[in-house]
Amino acid sequence: MNTHMKAVVIDEQGEADVMRYRSIEMPALEPGQVRIAMRACSLNYHDIFTRRGMPGVRTPLPMILGCDCAGVIAEMAPDVKGWALGERVLADPIARFTRQEDPNPTIPIKFIGDTRWGGYAEYCVVWDRQLIRIPESVSIELAACLPVAYGSAYRMVMRHGQITAGDKVLVLGASGGVGNCAVQLAKSVGCFVVGACGSAARCQQLKELFGVDQTINTAEQDIVKATRGLTGGSLLQGGGFDVVVNSQGGEFWAIGIRCVRAGGTMVTNGALAGFDPPTDIRYIFQGELTIQGSNGWRHQDIENLVDLVADDKLRPFIGATYPLHQAIEAHKALEARAHFGKIVITGDAPIQR
Ligand SMILES: NC(=O)c1ccc[n+]([C@@H]2O[C@H](COP(=O)([O-])OP(=O)(O)OC[C@H]3O[C@@H](n4cnc5c(N)ncnc54)[C@H](OP(=O)(O)O)[C@@H]3O)[C@@H](O)[C@H]2O)c1
Query: Does residue 308 form part of some domain?
Result: no
Kindly state whether residues 72 and 134 are assigned to the same domain.
yes
What is the residue range of 289's domain?
Answer: 149-293
Whether 173 is in the pocket of ligand 1, judged by its Cβ within 6 Å, is yes
Instruction: Report the C-alpha gap between 18 and 32 in whole angstroms.
Output: 32
343 alpha carbon to ligand 1 midpoint, in Å?
A: 13
Whether 195 is in the pocket of ligand 1, judged by its Cβ within 6 Å, is no
Query: Does residue 90 form part of some domain?
Result: yes
171 alpha carbon to ligand 1 midpoint, in Å?
A: 11
Pocket test for ligand 1, best of 42, 43, 44 (most atoms within 8 A of CB): 44
Kindly state whether residues 82 and 165 are assigned to the same domain.
no
**Residue 44 alpha carbon, nearest atom of ligand 1:** 15
The residue whose CA is least distant from atom 42 of ligand 1 is 176
Kindly state whether residues 64 and 171 are assigned to the same domain.
no
Dihedrals φ, ψ of 159, to 5°?
A: -90, -55
**Residue 271 alpha carbon, nearest atom of ligand 1:** 45
The continuous run of DSSP H or E covering 244 comes out as strand 241-246
Whether 247 is in the pocket of ligand 1, judged by its Cβ within 6 Å, is yes
Query: Does residue 27 form part of some domain?
Result: yes
Instruction: Report the C-alpha gap between 352 and 236 in whole angstroms.
Output: 64
75 alpha carbon to ligand 1 midpoint, in Å?
A: 34
303 alpha carbon to ligand 1 midpoint, in Å?
A: 23
Whether 240 is in the pocket of ligand 1, judged by its Cβ within 6 Å, is no
Whether 272 is in the pocket of ligand 1, judged by its Cβ within 6 Å, is yes
- How confident is the model at residue 14, as a pLDDT? 98
Where residue 136 sits, what CATH number does that domain have?
3.90.180.10
- Strand, coil or helix: 321: strand
- Strand, coil or helix: 10: strand
Query: Does residue 302 form part of some domain?
Result: no
Contact 87, 128 (CB under 8 A): no
Kindly state whether residues 168 and 274 are assigned to the same domain.
yes
Dihedrals φ, ψ of 132, to 5°?
A: -130, 130
Whether 45 is in the pocket of ligand 1, judged by its Cβ within 6 Å, is yes
> How many Cβ atoms from other residues are within 10 Å of residue 59's Cβ?
19
Query: Does residue 304 form part of some domain?
Result: no
Kindly state whether residues 183 and 126 are assigned to the same domain.
no
- How confident is the model at residue 1, as a pLDDT? 52
179 alpha carbon to ligand 1 midpoint, in Å?
A: 8
Query: Does residue 224 form part of some domain?
Result: yes
Sign (positive or negative) of CA dihedral 264, 195, 147, 64: negative
**Residue 340 alpha carbon, nearest atom of ligand 1:** 43
- How confident is the model at residue 55, as a pLDDT? 87
Kindly state whether residues 14 and 136 are assigned to the same domain.
yes
Query: Does residue 10 form part of some domain?
Result: yes
The residue whose CA is least distant from atom 32 of ligand 1 is 273
One digit per residue, the tens of pLDDT, for the chain of length 353 reads: 589 999 999 999 999 999 999 999 999 999 999 999 999 999 999 999 999 998 888 999 999 999 999 999 999 999 999 999 999 999 999 999 999 999 999 888 999 999 999 999 999 999 999 999 999 999 999 999 999 999 999 999 999 999 999 999 999 999 999 999 999 999 999 999 999 999 999 999 999 999 999 999 999 999 999 999 999 988 888 999 999 999 999 999 999 999 999 999 999 999 999 999 999 999 999 999 999 999 999 999 999 999 999 999 999 999 999 999 999 999 999 999 988 999 999 999 999 75
Kindly state whether residues 137 and 232 are assigned to the same domain.
no
Kindly state whether residues 57 and 72 are assigned to the same domain.
yes
**Angle at Cα 57 formed by Cα 149 and Cα 250, nearest 5°?**
60
- How confident is the model at residue 23, as a pLDDT? 98
Instruction: Report the C-alpha gap between 180 and 340 in whole angstroms.
Output: 9
Kindly state whether residues 170 and 285 are assigned to the same domain.
yes
- How confident is the model at residue 252, as a pLDDT? 97
Kindly state whether residues 29 and 70 are assigned to the same domain.
yes
Pocket test for ligand 1, best of 41, 42, 43, 45 (most atoms within 8 A of CB): 45
The residue whose CA is least distant from atom 18 of ligand 1 is 176
Kindly state whether residues 153 and 288 are assigned to the same domain.
yes
30 alpha carbon to ligand 1 midpoint, in Å?
A: 34
Query: Does residue 246 form part of some domain?
Result: yes
Dihedrals φ, ψ of 221, to 5°?
A: -110, 150
Strands (E), 129-240: 131-133, 168-171, 192-197, 214-217
Where residue 279 sits, what CATH number does that domain have?
3.40.50.720
Kindly state whether residues 116 and 206 are assigned to the same domain.
no
Domains in the chain, number: 2
The continuous run of DSSP H or E covering 88 comes out as strand 88-91
Strands (E), 128-222: 131-133, 168-171, 192-197, 214-217
